[in-house]
Amino acid sequence: MTAFDTARRPLRLGIELSSTQPWIELTAHPGGIDGPVETPIRVQASDLRDAYRKVATARAEVGNEVPTLLDVEVMIAHDSRSARTCLAILDSALRTVRKPASMLYVGTSSGLAGLIADIHTLGIADGVILRPLLLPGVLVHILDEVVPALYPAGLRPFYDAMEFLRRVAAGRQLRPA
């Protein structure tokens, strides 16, 4: 499959809030909620080269018609330095060294949107499933900044899912005692 072929497919985006819960699709499907939705193959890879190889293998085994989504663990903030600081604080609270289950992106919302658009445009995968490392902060950045930045790349958001995630983020905000 060439980059041109996958670029014709809609960009897909999902969020996984917990490894014990199903991921949430943020992409509106052309047929609406009653139309057919193909279950994607999820790929975990250490970097883009590894992702390209694993997706190519999956497509060779099951065919090019089945969508592929790349898992990306995410720590984003207003600037890259703040994102790295947040990750360092998070990691310092762990009893063991954290090993990413898949690709790790640490940086800004615009950088993440660019990475996602490139993954789709280059045909590495049909989209991504984002795994925010810090809730609700990273989730809010994704909803308010990353998703709108992906509209030019062809993302058609599923607004009901977006609203649900906004309620989740609001419910996780710290409240005064």
- Here the CATH number for the domain that contains residue 83 is 3.20.20.30
CA distance 124 to 50: 10
Flag whether 175 is in a domain: no
Flag whether 159 is in a domain: yes
Flag whether 148 is in a domain: yes
Into how many domains does the chain fold? 1
- Render pLDDT for 25-42 as a digit per residue (tens, 0 to 9): 999 976 655 555 678 999
- Render pLDDT for 101-147 as a digit per residue (tens, 0 to 9): 899 999 999 999 999 999 999 999 999 999 999 888 899 999 999 99
Give me Rg for the CA atoms of the chain. Answer: 16
Distances (CA, A) of 81 to 8, 76, 108, 149, 157: 36, 10, 9, 21, 29
Distances (CA, A) of 84 to 104, 125, 131, 147: 12, 26, 16, 22
Q: Contact, 161 vs 26, CB < 8 A?
A: yes
Flag whether 32 is in a domain: no
Flag whether 56 is in a domain: yes
Query: What pLDDT sits at residue 51?
Result: 97
To which H or E segment does residue 85 belong? helix 80-92
What is the span of the domain harbouring residue 10? 3-27+41-170
Determine the average pLDDT of the residues in 57-81.
94
